[in-house]
């Protein structure tokens, strides 16, 4: 869901910059640090949900642990009144303003958390196997189909795990936990080298 | 003597692939497919260890994971050294190096064997009885000596260089054990389309079929049927076959822990493969096809090298082509002895005699033995063996009456080099029992069998007492079908009814010997002097039949007590070969039936498991996440020392290089950093502070309820110091809160308290006040926070900030404004934790380092000084500011730590308010926060030191309180300390004592604010 | 590791959850009106039954919701789970 790997403005530093530069090429489970994303945490009552989705351009999914995608943007159900809105490569400020305007007077909370986390991608025929070294969920396609996004764990770090294609997963992780998750993924896929 | 005991042909070893290995320094050869045990037996080596207590010479008892004796050390190098491996499970690889254990100086001559001769003085409970007196001797003498003598192998002293991984996995049907029942179960489940895992601890799948010589299944030789079946299973996408994988623990809700040994059998494992892999497998349904373990017979001298279990000897012969000896005496209580006798005879081993404990011997196998000319002796026992390092003869005697109570007749010694025994088979109910299923005693077969299940599991084949190859196969198939069916019903928490044996939709015509359920439990009779006879029950812990009867005579009735008193069944084999015979001996001694005695509890792991497997990748730097701020790398590049604060690394202090090339120590660096902040300006990375954005129309109301302070009147753009209590009234957390707009608060928490505070807030919001329109979002990691503190702070920041007027009047102390710095959005706080003019610059974390560097550059004209957590602590202590968790320990109400002013008295309610109303919460003798000055200004008190009025008072000396924070203040030129002292505020101006081990330190109780008590510096 | 049925997310492994103590212990509407003894009972005293126990769990590493569960404290098996605010299902008494 985050296709760009371009580096951001010169002022920005990302926690995986150094680690991602030294990664091994392992085809069965490729590991990539993805580029900047606008991330907005949206919480709200029923009345605000539809307005927020319309302003963002992606309807907020009402089914648990599902992800809706439109025009390169994604809305992830994280809880019954909680969504994370992802807009790769976009500037968060105008997006924030647009949604706030559309939801004025409707009980809700919108918080810019773009810098809170980073996203990395695990892709390849063994991606699920690698993730299951630290994630306790059943990642079979039946139990965790494409379009699933959920908060869960990878070893001792909390993550948001998304299945993009049968063999592609995205892991969104708070920035200070990102090197830990990265190193654990490197360790997990080492046997596939 | 190379492989003199190897058969000419047959077995599953690869005779075209010889393997050279070393045991106790001597080189031997074996074949690919051998275990260390089978290769040594083929080389005629049976002496492989010394026993634990008596240091008696020991050989192999079994051929599998139940082996109690043959524990060896296998070392690839000094770090890759594994003690206590069962030689029966160690796969041979080129260059393998193994050594025996528990012997000194050598296996053949072991000084510890003297214990054997004084053994009449080493009875059961010896340790408990002997080392009681004199009292002081335990620590000085007995314990060190016993520790030196005890234990088996030696642990490596170097860190384990190998990797271990852990995987979560899911399947519909897990089948544990790949013998005939397990194979059939896997086949049935796989054919139904279920995802099936078939696991087995052995390197090859097949279980008992791997040692079959004559049996046929579906018209094929058993081993052909085995390879065909494995090929069928392997070809299915829904089947996972895992050899070398032990199902060692059965956890609730069908989570089975599997230990897969990935590289243990490889001569040169690559660096990328894990040595072992832990599977945490969640199975919808489990089929336990764990088979049965052969029981030894308990007769005198049954532990000499060369005395083996009969069916294990058959395995060595048929599966590995390794003959247990040239001349065998067989002692049996069931037909298994005859099956072994017939296979031995066919394999070229002379069978001297079969002593059968049973009074009458009939049936097909004994008849075939008789027809083969084997000397079969019914109602006969072995009453002893001869030989020292290897058995050389067996004493046989006729039983006069019933098998276990009556004395025996005169004995006859038969020369032999191996004695093979079989007391029948014990169903392997370990995993069933771990799953908390109830065992039931089956009197007909003399065994505990699986009864009602708790988990969604079922047993199949020999582990539920079914005998006969065809019945076992059909039971396995039937259970596999039933398991697959049940796995499709996800709703049912309990499993379906276990089908009766034979309820299989498929028939498996098989020709094989049915051993039936005959057997013996207990000690066999003999007429020898019990004081000088050892009939072993537990080989590994050296427990004899006599030890167990002694325990019962001393009054131990419960099997759990007998177990602990005698240590039977407590070794690494957990009594796989000894538990049932122990029960039999206790039952006979007490005149009770076996089920009346009960059964000890089966606990994980089934076989010993490495620590590495449990640790997995969580070791070294990856043990826990190491959280670093956006500014961490800059601090590291500038020589900072770091300290751990929860999972965070925080810059502790920034030691400068000294002219002589050394670096400042903590004391010097902190003194310099403190002076810089007080006289000019310093900068501090406060990014680890917890942050929560509280947003919604009811945000102020929610804050009112969660914090002691009043929030309704706090204007947007202003900050307030907030105090949070638990419902019991004690301080839980504190932090500065900014109101950004009427419905948006920026809340900060302590570094370590962030997750706890958020969970506490969520709890009240979700479960007590779900009607409030307010939501919480963690923003701890969204913002990097740079504190700029000191009289020059405004001058440093002002040129960098756009959109905010930093003038004193426009931006007073305790305000928040939004603007930009370097074009990056910022929330700028005017706030101080130092007592100086101060600001905190919040910027999105990705820009934290760039903004830090810009402020550092802008501060150069003022000598801006980066400081760490130690200086932060000193500066705030000079001002008497508390740190929650340092001045508080969960028993302080706000007033105790001088925060009574932060409690909104007019508020009707807030979390913790009712508790504050209890009389004891305002008692005058509560511990209260005060300052301490030492009489000698250079003495720095120890944090945690107790404070008393009179150190010479009779013990117990009344403790008045303790030191919570203590530093040397370079700015003030004397030490300072904070303390909580009973009725402390009323004691200000008085003197108390701090007794230390070497002296008593006199202190004066003072106000806790040491610096700028009027707070004039805050406004710059 | 138990499997816990989150009322929002379905069956998930125990490691994603936090235990939250006994359920249906509501914070009194007017704490100031309570005697010290009544307040202490609310703060500290719980039923601790042997048998069925209504208790709070939070799917903290999932949807974040607090919810209630009835668990048998003898067998450790869950009987049911339900959303916060819903009444305790009528499935037998808690133990002694």
Topology of domain A37-112, CATH: Alpha-Beta Plaits (3.30.70)
The phi-psi region of residue B384 (left if phi > 0; otherwise alpha if psi is between -120 and 50; otherwise beta) is: left
* Position C58 in a domain: yes
pLDDT exceeding 90 applies to what percent of chain A? Answer: 93
Q: Give the number of other Cβ atoms within 10 Å of residue C32's Cβ.
A: 11
The phi-psi region of residue A109 (left if phi > 0; otherwise alpha if psi is between -120 and 50; otherwise beta) is: beta
* Position C43 in a domain: no
The answer to whether residues B834 and B673 touch, using CB atoms and an 8 Å cutoff, is no
The helix or strand, by DSSP H or E, that contains position B842, with its residue range, turns out to be strand B838-844
State chain A's mean pLDDT as an integer. 95
Tell me which residue range forms the domain holding C52: 18-25+48-85
Query: How, if at all, do strands B196-199 and B239-242 pair?
Result: parallel
Give the pLDDT of residue C92. 63
Chain C residue numbers touching A82 (CB-CB < 8 A): 63-64
Residues A176, B648: C-beta atoms closer than 8 Å = yes
Residues C15, A136: C-beta atoms closer than 8 Å = yes
Tell me the pLDDT tens digit for each residue of B793-808.
999 999 999 999 999 9
Tell me the pLDDT tens digit for each residue of B195-216.
999 999 999 999 999 999 999 9
Number of structural domains, chain C? Answer: 1
Chain A: nearest CA to B544, how far in angstroms? 46
Give the long-range contacts of residues B919-927, CB within 8 A, separation 24 or more.
B921/B729, B921/B893, B922/B893, B922/B895, B924/B983, B924/B986, B925/B982, B925/B983, B926/B893, B926/B895, B926/B896, B926/B982, B926/B983, B927/B892, B927/B896, B927/B961, B927/B980, B927/B981, B927/B982, B927/B984
Architecture of the domain defined by B164-292+427-511: 3-Layer(bba) Sandwich (3.50)
* Position C63 in a domain: yes
Indicate the pLDDT class of residue A2, thresholds 50, 70 and 90. very low
The answer to whether residues B537 and B568 touch, using CB atoms and an 8 Å cutoff, is yes
Q: How far apart are CA B975 and CA B964, in angstroms?
A: 14
Give me the mean pLDDT over the B776-790 stretch: 98
Indicate the pLDDT class of residue C55, thresholds 50, 70 and 90. very high
Chain A residue numbers touching B777 (CB-CB < 8 A): 41, 43, 109, 111, 113
**Span B523-597: which CATH code?**
1.10.10.1100
pLDDT greater than 50 at residue C95: no
For chain B, give every domain's residue range.
1-159, 164-292+427-511, 296-423, 523-597, 624-688+780-879, 691-779, 923-1019
The helix or strand, by DSSP H or E, that contains position B604, with its residue range, turns out to be none
The minimal CB distance from C61 to the residues A65, A80, A152 is found for: A152
DSSP state of B455: S
10 Å CB burial of residue B658 (0-12, 13-18, 19+) is: exposed
Nearest one of A150, A169, A164, A161 to A79, comparing CA atoms: A150
The answer to whether residues C17 and C60 touch, using CB atoms and an 8 Å cutoff, is yes
Indicate the pLDDT class of residue A3, thresholds 50, 70 and 90. very low
Tell me the pLDDT tens digit for each residue of B825-874.
999 999 999 999 999 999 999 999 999 999 999 999 999 999 999 999 99
Q: How far apart are CA B218 and CA B12, in angstroms?
A: 21
Token pair recorded at residue B273: 């493969």
Alpha helices in B543-651 (DSSP H): 545-553, 559-566, 579-590, 594-597, 611-615, 632-637
Phi, psi of C46 (to 5 degrees): -130, 165
Is the domain covering B296-423 a CATH 3.40.140.10 domain? no
* Position C40 in a domain: no
More confident residue, B120 or B671: B671
A-C C-beta contacts closer than 8 Å: 36
Tell me the pLDDT tens digit for each residue of B871-906.
999 999 999 999 999 999 999 999 999 999 999 999
Tell me the pLDDT tens digit for each residue of C20-34.
999 999 999 999 999
A-proximal residues of B, 624-653, CB under 8 Å:
624-630, 633, 647-648
* Position C91 in a domain: no
Give the pLDDT of residue B405. 52
Architecture of the domain defined by B691-779: 2-Layer Sandwich (3.30)
Q: At what angle do helices B869-878 and B666-679 cross, to 10 degrees?
A: 60
Q: How far apart are CA B814 and CA B629, in angstroms?
A: 25
The CATH number fitting domain B1-159, selected from 3.90.180.10, 3.40.50.620, 3.10.20.440, 2.60.130.10: 3.10.20.440
The answer to whether residues B717 and B817 touch, using CB atoms and an 8 Å cutoff, is yes
What CATH number has the domain bearing residue C68? 3.30.2270.10
pLDDT greater than 50 at residue C94: no
Chain B: nearest CA to A184, how far in angstroms? 7
Token pair recorded at residue B229: 């079946």
Residues B168, A137: C-beta atoms closer than 8 Å = yes
Give the pLDDT of residue A8. 47
pLDDT greater than 70 at residue B150: no
pLDDT greater than 60 at residue A6: no
Judged by a CB distance cut-off of 8 A, whether residue A173 touches chain B is: no
The answer to whether residues B808 and B1020 touch, using CB atoms and an 8 Å cutoff, is yes
Indicate the pLDDT class of residue B148, thresholds 50, 70 and 90. low
Residues on C contacting B at a C-beta cutoff of 8 Å: 1-3, 13, 18, 20, 26-27, 30-32, 34, 36, 39, 43, 56, 58, 60, 64-66, 75-77, 84-85
Give the pLDDT of residue C79. 92
- The three-state secondary structure class of B371 is helix
Residues A151, C62: C-beta atoms closer than 8 Å = yes
Nearest one of A168, A165, A178 to A28, comparing CA atoms: A168
For chain A, give every domain's residue range.
17-35+116-192, 37-112
Q: Is the peptide bond before B588 cis (omega within 30 degrees of 0)?
A: no
Judged by a CB distance cut-off of 8 A, whether residue B820 touches chain A is: no
pLDDT greater than 90 at residue A1: no
The answer to whether residues B371 and B383 touch, using CB atoms and an 8 Å cutoff, is no
Residues B253, C31: C-beta atoms closer than 8 Å = no
* Position C2 in a domain: no
Architecture of the domain defined by B923-1019: Beta Barrel (2.40)
Give the pLDDT of residue B889. 96
Indicate the pLDDT class of residue B153, thresholds 50, 70 and 90. confident
pLDDT greater than 50 at residue B586: yes
Phi, psi of A23 (to 5 degrees): -80, 155
Which chains have 3 or more CB–CB distances shorter than 8 Å to chain A? Answer: B, C
pLDDT greater than 90 at residue A47: yes
Residues A187, B165: C-beta atoms closer than 8 Å = yes
Token pair recorded at residue B7: 């058969």
> Can B523-597 and B624-688+780-879 be said to share one CATH topology?
no
Phi, psi of B164 (to 5 degrees): -135, 140
Chain C residue numbers touching B436 (CB-CB < 8 A): 75
Indicate the pLDDT class of residue A169, thresholds 50, 70 and 90. very high
- The three-state secondary structure class of B598 is coil
**Span A17-35+116-192: which CATH code?**
3.30.1360.120
Query: How, if at all, do strands C10-13 and A67-70 pair?
Result: unpaired
Tell me the pLDDT tens digit for each residue of B31-81.
999 999 999 999 999 999 988 888 899 999 999 999 999 999 999 999 999
* Class of domain B624-688+780-879 as given by CATH: alpha beta
Judged by a CB distance cut-off of 8 A, whether residue A126 touches chain B is: no
Give the pLDDT of residue B939. 97
Judged by a CB distance cut-off of 8 A, whether residue A155 touches chain B is: yes
> Which of B168, B438, B618, B767 best tests the C interface by mutation, with the highest count of C CBs <10 A?
B767
């Amino acid at each position: 869901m985050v296709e760009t790997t371009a580096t951001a403005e010169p002022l920005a530093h990302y926690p995986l910059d150094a680690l991602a530069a030294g990664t091994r090429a392992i085809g069965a489970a490729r590991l990539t640090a993805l580029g900047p994303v606008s991330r907005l945490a949206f919480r709200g009552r029923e009345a605000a949900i539809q307005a927020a989705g319309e302003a963002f351009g992606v309807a907020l999914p009402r089914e648990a642990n599902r992800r809706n995608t439109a025009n390169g943007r994604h809305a992830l159900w994280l809880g019954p009144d909680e969504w994370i809105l992802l807009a790769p490569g976009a500037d968060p400020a105008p997006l924030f303003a647009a949604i706030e305007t559309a939801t004025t007077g409707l009980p809700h909370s919108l918080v810019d958390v773009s810098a809170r986390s980073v996203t990395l991608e695990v892709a390849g025929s063994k991606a699920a196997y690698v993730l299951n070294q630290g994630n306790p969920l059943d990642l079979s396609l039946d139990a965790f189909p494409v379009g699933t996004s959920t908060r869960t764990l990878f070893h001792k770090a909390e993550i948001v795990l998304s299945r993009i294609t049968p063999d592609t997963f995205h892991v969104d992780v708070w920035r200070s936990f990102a090197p830990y998750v990265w190193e654990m993924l490197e360790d997990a896929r080492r046997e596939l080298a | 003597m190379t492989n003199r005991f190897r058969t000419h042909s047959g077995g599953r070893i690869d005779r075209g692939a010889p393997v050279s290995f070393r045991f106790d320094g001597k080189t031997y050869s074996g074949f690919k497919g051998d275990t260390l045990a089978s290769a040594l037996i083929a080389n005629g080596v049976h002496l492989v260890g010394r026993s634990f207590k008596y240091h008696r010479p020991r050989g192999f008892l079994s051929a599998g994971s139940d082996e109690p004796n043959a524990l060896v050390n296998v070392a690839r190098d000094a770090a890759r050294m594994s003690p206590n491996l069962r030689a029966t499970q160690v796969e041979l690889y080129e260059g393998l190096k193994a050594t025996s254990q528990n012997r000194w100086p050598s296996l053949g001559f072991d000084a510890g064997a003297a214990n054997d001769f004084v053994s009449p003085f080493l009875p059961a409970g010896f340790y408990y009885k002997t080392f009681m007196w004199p009292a002081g001797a335990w620590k000085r003498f007995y314990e060190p000596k016993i520790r030196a003598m005890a234990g088996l192998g030696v642990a490596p002293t170097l860190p384990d260089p190998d990797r271990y991984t852990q995987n979560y996995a899911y399947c519909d049907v897990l089948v544990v054990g790949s013998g005939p029942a397990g194979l059939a179960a896997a086949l049935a489940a796989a054919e139904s389309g279920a995802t099936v895992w078939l696991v087995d601890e052995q390197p090859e799948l097949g279980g008992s079929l791997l040692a079959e010589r004559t049996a046929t299944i579906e018209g094929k030789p058993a081993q052909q049927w085995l390879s065909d079946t494995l090929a069928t299973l392997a070809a299915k996408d829904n089947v996972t076959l895992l050899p070398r994988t032990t199902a060692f623990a059965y956890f609730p809700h069908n989570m089975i822990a599997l230990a897969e040994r990935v590289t243990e059998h490889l001569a040169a494992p690559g660096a990328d493969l894990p040595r072992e892999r832990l599977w945490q497998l969640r199975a919808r349904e489990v089929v336990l096809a764990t088979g049965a373990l052969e029981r030894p017979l308990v007769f005198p001298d049954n532990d000499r090298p060369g005395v083996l279990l009969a069916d294990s000897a058959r395995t060595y012969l048929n599966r590995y082509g390794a003959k247990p000896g040239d001349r065998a005496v067989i002692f049996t209580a069931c037909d298994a002895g005859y099956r072994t006798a017939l296979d031995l005879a066919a394999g070229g081993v002379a069978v001297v005699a079969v002593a059968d404990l049973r009074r009458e011997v009939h049936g097909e196998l004994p008849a075939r033995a008789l027809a083969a000319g084997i000397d079969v002796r019914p109602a006969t026992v072995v009453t002893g063996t001869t030989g020292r390092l290897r058995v050389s003869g067996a004493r046989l005697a006729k039983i006069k009456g019933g098998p276990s109570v009556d004395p025996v007749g005169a004995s006859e010694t038969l020369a032999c080099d191996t004695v093979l025994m079989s007391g029948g088979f014990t169903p392997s109910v370990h995993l069933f029992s771990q799953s908390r299923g109830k065992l039931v005693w089956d009197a007909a077969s003399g065994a505990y069998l699986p009864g009602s299940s708790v988990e969604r599991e079922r047993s199949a084949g020999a582990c539920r007492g079914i005998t006969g190859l065809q019945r076992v196969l059909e039971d396995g198939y039937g259970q596999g079908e039933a398991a697959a069916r049940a796995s499709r019903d996800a709703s049912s928490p309990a499993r379906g009814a276990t089908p009766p044996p034979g309820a299989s939709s498929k028939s498996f015509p098989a020709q094989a010997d049915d051993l039936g359920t005959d057997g013996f439990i207990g000690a066999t009779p003999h007429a020898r002097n019990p004081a000088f006879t050892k009939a072993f029950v537990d080989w590994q812990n050296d427990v004899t039949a006599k030890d167990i009867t002694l325990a019962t005579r001393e009054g131990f009735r419960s099997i759990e007590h007998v177990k602990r008193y005698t240590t039977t069944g407590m070794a690494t084999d957990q009594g796989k070969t000894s538990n049932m015979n122990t029960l039999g001996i206790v039952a006979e001694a007490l005149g009770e039936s076996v089920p009346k005695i009960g059964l000890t509890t089966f606990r994980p792991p089934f076989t010993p498991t490495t620590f590495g497997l449990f640790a997995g990748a969580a070791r070294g730097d990856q043990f826990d996440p190491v959280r670093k701020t956006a500014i961490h790398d800059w601090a590291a590049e500038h020589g900072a020392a770091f300290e751990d604060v929860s999972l965070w690394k925080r810059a502790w202090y920034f030691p400068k290089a000294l002219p002589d090339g050394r670096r400042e120590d903590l004391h010097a660096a902190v003194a310099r950093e403190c002076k810089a902040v007080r006289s000019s300006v310093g900068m501090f990375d406060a990014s680890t502070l917890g942050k929560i954005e509280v947003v919604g129309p009811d945000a102020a109301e929610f804050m009112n309820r969660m914090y002691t302070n009043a929030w309704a009147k706090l204007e947007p753009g202003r900050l307030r110091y907030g105090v949070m209590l638990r419902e019991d009234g004690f301080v839980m957390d504190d932090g500065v809160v900014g109101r950004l707009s009427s419905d948006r608060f920026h809340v900060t928490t302590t570094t370590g308290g962030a997750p706890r505070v958020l969970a506490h807030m969520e709890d009240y919001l979700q479960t007590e006040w779900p009607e409030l329109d307010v939501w919480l979002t963690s923003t701890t990691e969204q913002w990097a926070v740079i504190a700029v503190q000191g009289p020059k702070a405004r001058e440093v920041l002002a040129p960098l900030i756009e959109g905010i007027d930093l003038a004193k009047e426009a931006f007073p102390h305790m305000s928040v404004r939004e603007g930009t710095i370097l074009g990056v959005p910022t929330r700028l706080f005017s706030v101080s934790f130092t007592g100086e003019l101060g600001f905190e610059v919040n910027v999105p974390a990705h820009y934290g380092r760039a903004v830090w560097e810009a402020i550092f550059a802008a501060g150069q004209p003022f000598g801006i000084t980066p400081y760490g957590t130690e200086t932060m602590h000193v500066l705030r202590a000079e001002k008497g500011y508390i740190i929650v968790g340092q001045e508080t320990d969960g028993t302080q109400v706000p007033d105790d730590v001088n925060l009574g002013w932060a409690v909104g008295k007019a508020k009707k309610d807030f979390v913790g308010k009712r508790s504050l109303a209890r009389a004891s919460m305002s008692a005058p003798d509560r511990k209260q926060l005060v300052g301490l000055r030492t009489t000698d200004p250079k003495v720095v008190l120890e944090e945690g030191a107790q404070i008393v009025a009179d150190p010479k008072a009779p013990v117990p000396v009344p403790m008045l309180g303790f030191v919570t924070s203590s530093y040397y203040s370079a700015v003030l030129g004397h030490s300072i300390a904070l303390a909580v002292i009973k009725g402390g505020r009323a004691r200000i101006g008085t003197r108390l004592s701090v007794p230390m081990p070497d002296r008593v330190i006199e202190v004066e109780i003072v106000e806790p604010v040491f610096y700028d008590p009027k707070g004039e510096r805050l406004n710059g | 590791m138990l499997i816990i049925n989150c009322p929002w997310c379905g069956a998930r492994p125990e490691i994603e959850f936090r235990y939250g103590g006994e359920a249906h212990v509501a914070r009194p509407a007017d704490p100031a009106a309570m005697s010290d003894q009544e307040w202490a009972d609310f703060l500290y005293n719980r039923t601790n039954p042997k048998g069925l126990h209504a208790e709070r769990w939070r799917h903290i590493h999932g949807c974040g919701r607090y919810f209630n569960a009835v668990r048998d404290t003898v067998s450790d098996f869950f009987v049911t789970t339900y959303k916060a605010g819903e009444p305790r299902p009528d499935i037998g008494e808690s133990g002694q």
